[in-house]
Structure 1
Amino acid sequence: MDPSQKDAEVAAPRPRKARNLPLLADPGADDLATKPRKAFAVRNSGAAPRRRDGALGRLSDRMRASLASYRFRPWYAVLAGFALLIVFRPWLMLGVAFVGLFMGIGVYLILGYDGFWRGVIRGSRWYARRNPLRAKIIHQRLDGFAMRWDAVLDRFPEGTVDGLYLPDVSELATADARHDQAMERRLARLRENEA
């Protein structure tokens, strides 16, 4: 028996569509594998950037420079995901905002005006211990917002919007500090009287 006939008998029959296709060459004979690979070349590497005249050229140069200096931060991915969530699921975001507003109002009603703001001050003290410089900036911004909000509320008749005024956070903090000092003095006097 001829060796070529023997190979034809051993090989599995090809499906009909595959009969129209040419046979593949031996992978070892692939000339692409033997060619040396070229590294990617950077255009104009080492050359000075091309200057363009006019406002459009300067704008494109600035845009190219800002894109070249771009550094990805994970926070950008979070913001992009949030933006996509708003675009593709707007009702979900409105629902989450409504539930958050409802819970905030519930906490305010349960704790009351004074209890709510004392909790806010406790949280601000905790944050100020962790990051004093950032806390100072946030307190200044909150104080500015409170002043603008009070200016809006001042336009209403006297006594109608008293519960909406924001407290002076720094004054509440000093009042709490004075209260803590008074408690320390009282406890010290009690300890002296017992001894």
Structure 2
Amino acid sequence: MGEPVVSGTLPQFADPAQLAAAFERLAPGASLVWATGPSSLGTARNATRALVDTWIAEKRATCAHGREPGQSDRWLFRVYRTEPGPFRRNGISATGKAGRDKREDQNRVLGLLADCARRGTECPTNEAIAEALDLPTPWRARYLVQRLEAEGEIRLIEPARFGPRVIEIASSGLRTASVETAR
């Protein structure tokens, strides 16, 4: 009768050499997509998966996966760097700046969010905040936004489930734009 027909999303893996080079430049806590496909990659063994398994065994990385936005049957498999990378050694970043205190970083994040609210633009993602303010990871940006909310400096109006979050600046009452308003 012949071979069975395979249907659905097939897994795709990153090139191992490119993945290894990108991983070495990756900041702690940051992630890379190493595969895409259905919710389970099955038992497929290849060089990319072996490389990621090695990083996990050496405790240099962890993995997670979740649905790709807008794709119900396609998943992203991410590898997160858990060890110090080239961007953070002995508390000093690659730019030479020693770790700042939390209040200074919170004020910088608040200034960025207030500027977005004044201009009527969407609230930036944690990744965009981290990049704009030279923070070590998006997790640091997320933490600082949560601290601002806990201290009453900002108020979360709409969480970021299917689009950008909408926040209100407590001192001015201004809000970042929602998806519908910004477009």
Shorter-chain TM-score: what band?
A: under 0.3
Larger Cα Rg: Structure 1 or Structure 2? Answer: 1
Of structures 1 and 2, the one scoring higher in RCO (CA 8 A, sep 6+) is: 2
The normalised TM-score by structure 2 is 0.27
Higher strand share: 2
The normalised TM-score by structure 1 is 0.25
Higher helix share: 1
